[in-house]
Structure formats: C-alpha cells, structure tokens
Amino acid sequence: MIKPILLIVAMVVVIVGVDIVFFREHFWARLLVNTGIVLVCAALYLRFLK
C-alpha cells in the first residue's frame, strides 16, 4: 500500500521540479515532458511493483 503512494509522490516531485527548472515558459514542451514522466512512472509501476 505504501509503495504506490511513494511512487505518486516521487512523480509529482519530479514533474514540479522539471517544470520549475527547465520549462517554465514553454507550454507544449512542458506538456510533452510531463506526459513522458507519467508514462515512465506507469511503466515502472507495472514492471516492478505489480
């Protein structure tokens, strides 16, 4: 039960960090990178935690 919550928290931290540091003024690039991060986190969850 704890591991999915930690994965979600880590995903949110990574997304917010990347948004603030790299893509503050670039909407489409930020949207694509955020989507990629979510897909990678979902793949890691399905591969290792499921």
For 4-41, the pLDDT digits (tens) are 888 889 889 999 999 889 888 889 999 999 999 999 98
Global pTM?
A: 0.80
What is the distance between the terminal CA atoms of the chain, rounded to a whole angstrom? 11
DSSP letter assigned to residue 2: H
Dihedral in degrees, nearest 10, Cα atoms 41, 43, 4, 28: 30
Q: How many domains does the chain have?
A: 1
Domain that holds residue 33: 2-49
Q: Which two tokens stand for residue 31?
A: 């949207």
pLDDT of amino acid 7: 82
Task: Classify residue 50 by its DSSP letter.
Answer: -
